[in-house]
């Protein structure tokens, strides 16, 4: 979703601080009085439930004002109005989830407060709790009073996702996604904008994106075949991190010179595709810094320079699939996809790396709902590039396959198990391309793996995998990984050396940057 150039966007970033500690319990009333009277942000004093997301950043768009609004509104005032308005929404979410209504009085006038409090109490008394989040707002200003104290606007196409639970059993009653318009009146009171009146209405569409993009330089799909400039395109790829700064070190220690040297090397080795990873936290969740976007732009421009196509894998290390984290993931998705939706170096957006591994630690339904949501949003933000999901196992790759452009999966099992997995997957997915997006074999043999594999074993493994892929329809592939790494962050595989040392040695180039025996087998 991209607005016309004249429309301004505002991002409201709402910091959530830690629950007040035990040491603050003594004299808390006096401290809060002092806090508020120093002009501090009232939101930071809320006693919020633990484990909430660190930011609430729904999509905010200002539509063109009505021709006659009374007083012309200042940009600063717009920001203040939206800040308090969005916090009011967030407080509603907390109240419905907890049944606690005290915080609502900060965001609603005395005339508007009883209605929302009563709705929360009724739900709580019936034994339900509502988990919801607001995902987008499109604000059209109607009136701004001459004294700067009253404002009215329509909040168009407000999108809400809701889950209703039984309080005692936590059994989900229903899930829904709702779109509505809201007529809103707010008053400036004691330096804060509070909602005086709000009326829900049926949504009315307001504009459509008409941007046209030349796709001739972008990879496309016809049947089960990838094409570039109307010629068949076969990915021979490598997963990429710099040798000394893999995983969580990559973006914090980004070096454009190293990227350029490595991409030139990748091209010279005979690969034509790279797969890279965008860490959700390194890109600051829902508030992507301009410098991080610029780093990704430099990487893509460098790939274009060396005729390399890039699969950009998003939301790496994301660990929160709850509704309240949807806005932050949506903001990161929107920022990146709209920034690069015309970039010819991108082969595809991989929306999540190995989400099926998260089924062990997160509610499967929550993960699936998030994937479906983010897939739908990605198609809005970038209709030009291909979309996929990098499943850890071929047996899970059928999920969401109807909505994806091609189906990606990983395999570190034997060639025989890979062949069986592809056969089973093809029974379910007959018409879309498959891509083996990760595979590899560590060449570490030492004290922590005395019976580990060596370079000869890796070369044999690569040859067998390539043969399976040829037999199963000449499936494109992306090997793990370019380099043997000098270090692996503990958050990737833990601190235990028997896990870390093998993980360092999956490269097709050794620690000295020299080719291993399997490289020639992989690229021929």
pLDDT digits (tens, 9 = 90+) for 484-496: 999 898 888 888 9
Number of other CB atoms surrounding residue 377 within 10 Å: 21
The predicted model gives 16-41 an average pLDDT of: 35
Question: Position of tokens 């633990």?
Answer: 50
| pTM of the complete model | 0.85
Domain boundaries, the chain: 52-201, 220-523
In this structure, the chain runs to a length of 524
Which is it for the CA torsion 318, 324, 326, 327, positive or negative? Answer: negative
Say what the pLDDT of residue 103 is.
93
Question: Position of tokens 């970038």?
Answer: 382
> Please, what CATH class does the domain formed by 52-201 belong to?
alpha beta
Mean residue pLDDT across the chain: 89
Rg (CA), the chain: 26
User: Does the pLDDT at position 206 exceed 90?
Assistant: no
* Per-residue tokens: 38: 């120093």
* Per-residue tokens: 196: 């005086």
Q: Per DSSP, which regions of 167-228 are E strands?
A: 172-189, 192-201, 220-222, 225-228
Q: What are phi and psi of 2, to 5 degrees?
A: -130, 130
* Per-residue tokens: 437: 């997006």
460: closest CA among 504, 411, 520, 419? 520
pLDDT band per the 50, 70, 90 thresholds, residue 207? low
Say what the pLDDT of residue 209 is.
59
Domain 220-523 has CATH 1.20.120.350: no
Say what the pLDDT of residue 281 is.
95
Q: What confidence tens digit (pLDDT) does each residue in 318-350 have?
A: 989 999 999 999 999 999 999 999 999 999 999
User: Does the pLDDT at position 228 exceed 80?
Assistant: yes
User: Does the pLDDT at position 47 exceed 80?
Assistant: no
Strands 172-189, 192-201: pairing kind = antiparallel
- The DSSP bridge partners found for residue 182 are 155, 200
pLDDT band per the 50, 70, 90 thresholds, residue 4? very low
Q: Per DSSP, which regions of 5-149 are E strands?
A: 59-62, 128-144
């Amino acid at each position: 979703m991209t607005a016309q150039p004249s429309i301004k966007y505002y991002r409201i970033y709402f910091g959530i601080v830690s629950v007040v500690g035990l040491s603050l319990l003594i004299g808390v009333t006096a401290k809060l009085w002092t806090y508020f009277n120093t002009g501090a942000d009232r939101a930071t004093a809320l006693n919020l439930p633990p484990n909430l997301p660190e930011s609430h950043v729904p999509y905010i768009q200002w539509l063109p004002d009505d021709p006659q609004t009374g007083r012309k509104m200042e940009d600063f005032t717009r920001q203040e109005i939206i800040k308090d308005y969005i916090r009011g929404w967030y407080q509603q979410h907390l109240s419905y989830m907890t049944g606690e209504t005290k915080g609502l009085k900060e965001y609603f006038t005395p005339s508007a407060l009883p209605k929302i409090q009563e709705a929360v109490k009724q739900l709580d008394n019936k034994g339900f709790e509502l988990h919801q989040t607001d995902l987008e707002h499109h604000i059209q200003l109607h009136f701004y009073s001459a004294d700067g104290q009253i404002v009215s606007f329509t909040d168009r196409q407000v999108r809400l996702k809701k889950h209703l639970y039984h309080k005692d059993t936590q059994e989900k009653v229903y899930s829904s996604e709702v779109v509505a318009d809201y007529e809103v009146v707010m008053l400036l009171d004691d330096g804060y904008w509070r909602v005086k009146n709000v009326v829900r209405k049926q949504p009315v569409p307001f504009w459509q994106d008409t941007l046209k993009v030349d796709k001739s330089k972008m990879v496309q799909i016809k049947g089960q075949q990838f094409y570039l400039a109307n010629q068949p395109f076969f990915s021979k790829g490598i997963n990429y991190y710099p040798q000394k700064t893999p995983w969580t070190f990559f973006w914090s220690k980004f070096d454009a010179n190293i990227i350029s040297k490595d991409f030139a090397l990748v091209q010279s080795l005979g690969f034509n595709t790279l797969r890279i990873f965008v860490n959700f936290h390194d890109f600051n969740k829902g508030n992507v810094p301009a410098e991080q976007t610029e780093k990704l732009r430099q990487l893509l421009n460098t790939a274009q320079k060396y005729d390399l196509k890039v699969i950009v894998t998003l939301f790496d290390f994301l660990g929160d699939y709850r509704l309240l984290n949807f806005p932050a993931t949506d903001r990161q998705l929107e920022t990146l996809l709209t920034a690069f939706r015309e970039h010819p170096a991108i082969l595809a957006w991989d929306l999540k790396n190995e989400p099926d591994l998260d089924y062990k630690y997160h509610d499967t339904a929550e993960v699936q709902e998030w994937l479906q949501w983010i897939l739908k949003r990605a198609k809005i933000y970038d209709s030009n590039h291909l979309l996929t999901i990098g499943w850890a196992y071929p047996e899970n790759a059928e999920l969401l396959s109807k909505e994806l452009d091609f189906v990606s999966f990983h395999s570190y099992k034997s060639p025989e198990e890979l062949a069986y997995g592809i056969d089973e997957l093809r029974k379910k997915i007959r018409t879309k391309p498959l891509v083996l997006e990760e595979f590899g074999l560590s060449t570490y043999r030492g004290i922590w793996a005395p019976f580990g594999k060596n370079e000869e074993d890796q070369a044999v493994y690569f040859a067998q995998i390539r043969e399976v892929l040829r037999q199963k329809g000449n499936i494109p592939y992306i090997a793990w990984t370019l380099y043997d790494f000098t270090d692996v962050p503990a958050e990737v595989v833990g601190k235990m050396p028997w896990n870390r040392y093998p993980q360092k040695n999956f490269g097709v180039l050794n620690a000295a940057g020299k080719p291993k025996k399997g490289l020639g087998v992989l690229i021929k």
